[in-house]
Amino acid sequence: MARLGRGSKRGLGGAVDGSTVRLFALVLVGALAAAAVTFLALQLGRHHWLKQAHDFTTAERIGDLAQADDDPAAAVAVALTPADGQRRGPPDPALTQAVAQALARRGVTGVKVRAYEAAKAACGAPADAALRCRILTLDPQDGTAVAPVAVSLPPAPRPWNLGRDSALLLAVGLATVAATAWLASRRAAAPLARLSAGAEALGRDLDGPPLAVEGTREVRQAALALNAMQTRLQALIAERARVLAAVAHDLQTPLTRLRLRVEKVADETLRAQLIADLAAMQHLVREGLDLARLETRIEPVVPVDLDALLSALCEDAAEAGQPVVFVKGCGAVRPTRPLALRRCLTNLIDNAVRHGGDAAVRAEVEGETVRLIVRDHGPGVPEDRLEALFEPFYRLDPSRSRDSGGSGLGLTIARRMAEIAGGRLTLANAADGGMEATVTFAPDEERG
């Protein structure tokens, strides 16, 4: 079964999650920036409108006072607080224009109006009073001297004074923007997520259905490329299996003839040596054929009682005269491919007995991780050569020589079977001597 690298699941899944998060962040930042600009414009407009409304109200009041007397300037001066001697600040053109327009609407003519900013003391108010103070000068065209007057205005509206209702609306708007951005990013990344899931399924089962060609143009192209790769891999593996099967079949006839002829050798010692060599050749051919067929063999995933499986394997080995003992179980039932797991553990037990002298089998559980451990008490293996043991036909001399009966494929097949079963096979030297072969089933390594 052709499969992707072990890191591919985390890699592809991480890439999809990363794309979703980045797209979400991009959409959210854009939406928030647009909302912020809109909010700023609305708040500035609201502030300007409220200030104009306050100035208009004040101007209307002054216009009413001016209209109530034949001498408009004098009427205003009498009605409002005199401001003689008060220091005038910068001109207030907005209020000046509002008062002039209010007088014009009432037909009051002959009075020139100017408004100036002033300290709150000019209006007789303390410095911390919530009001604005302005000084008005009304100059009649007839030359009559009229004292300046002080006008109290409502406090200017603050640009960012939201209020409870506005703050609530803003919070609801931000939540809506965030939710919309998240849904949009998830929807945009959904084809990539389906492509990732399809690639993972392809890694687990090369004979599975092809990927759906959907989504953006780039995602569709990637799906088409993966489907083409699946077809090519299927053809390549099928051709390899046919070639190896034909070679193995064709070798059976000459090997049988050699066996018959070897039986006629008079020298018993030589005959025994030749028979052993022929047996090794036949074993090597069978294991080579098994290794090729591993890629095309499909087995369903079913729940397996790991303790029962380990106990049965150990009992079978012990009945065959091998020094194998089942140390302890873990009580775990895990979905896996039982025939693949059985073949993996059988190879590990045989390897431990052949090269370490015995095998102690146990199972451990740590959280959601399950470990099946086959331990021997042999000489161990140099740390820098542990990983090389999984290479096909690799042997350590003298403990891993051909004379010991190994073909160099046992651990290669065991690791491949562990992967098919949904686990990961590793080797390590035990602290007190010997070697441990561990099949680890972790949550992120499940195979469906």
SS3 state at 439: strand
1 and 135 belong to one structural domain: yes
Across 218-310, where does the E strand assignment appear? Answer: 302-305
Domain co-membership, 323 together with 422: yes
pLDDT of residue 3: 39
The pLDDT of residue 363 is: 93
Do 292 and 305 share a domain, yes or no?
no
| Residue 288 and residue 346 share a domain | no
- The pLDDT of 52-60, averaged and rounded, is 78
143 and 277 in one domain?
Answer: no
> Quick one: 236 and 320 in the same domain?
no
The residue with tokens 């059985």 is 342
Kindly state whether residues 149 and 286 are assigned to the same domain: no
Q: Cα–Cα distance between 413 and 286 in angstroms, integer?
A: 12
pLDDT for residue 129: 78
The range of the structural domain enclosing residue 445 comes to 300-448
Indicate whether 362 pLDDT > 90.
yes
Adjacency order of strands within the sheet including 81-82: 81-82, 149-153, 132-140, 111-118, 88-91
The domain boundary residue, chosen from 298, 313, 332:
298
Please state the rounded mean pLDDT for residues 430-438. 87
| Total domains in the fold of the chain | 3
Residues 72, 90 share a domain: yes
pLDDT confidence bin for 306, thresholds 50/70/90:
very high
pLDDT at 397 over 70: no
> Could you tell me the pLDDT band of residue 434, with boundaries at 50, 70 and 90?
confident
Is the pLDDT at 420 greater than 90, yes or no?
no
When pLDDT is cut at 50, 70 and 90, the band that residue 372 belongs to is very high
Same structural domain, 249 and 280: yes
Strand segments (E) across 145-189: 149-153
Cis peptide before 398 (omega within 30 of 0): yes
In this predicted structure, what is the pLDDT of residue 409? 72
- CA dist., res. 413 & res. 240, Å (int): 17
In this structure, the answer to whether residues 431 and 446 fall within a common structural domain is yes
Examine the fold and report which residue of 270, 298, 326 is the final residue of a domain before the chain moves on: 298
Helix or strand holding residue 170 (H, E): helix 163-204
Let me know whether 212 and 190 are in one domain. no
- pLDDT value at 141 more than 50: yes
pLDDT tens across 13-43, in order?
454 456 667 667 777 777 777 777 777 777 6
Q: Categorize the per-residue pLDDT at 172 as very low, low, confident or very high, splitting at 50, 70 and 90.
A: confident
Among candidate residues 253, 278, 298, the one where a domain is terminated:
298
Q: What value does the mean pLDDT take over residues 353-363?
A: 90
Kindly state the percentage of the chain with pLDDT values over 90. Answer: 13
- The predicted model scores a pTM of 0.49
Read off the CATH number of the domain in which 264 is found. 1.10.287.130
Rounded to the nearest 5°, which phi and psi values hold at 433? Answer: 105, 155
Whether 279 and 367 map to the same domain: the answer is no
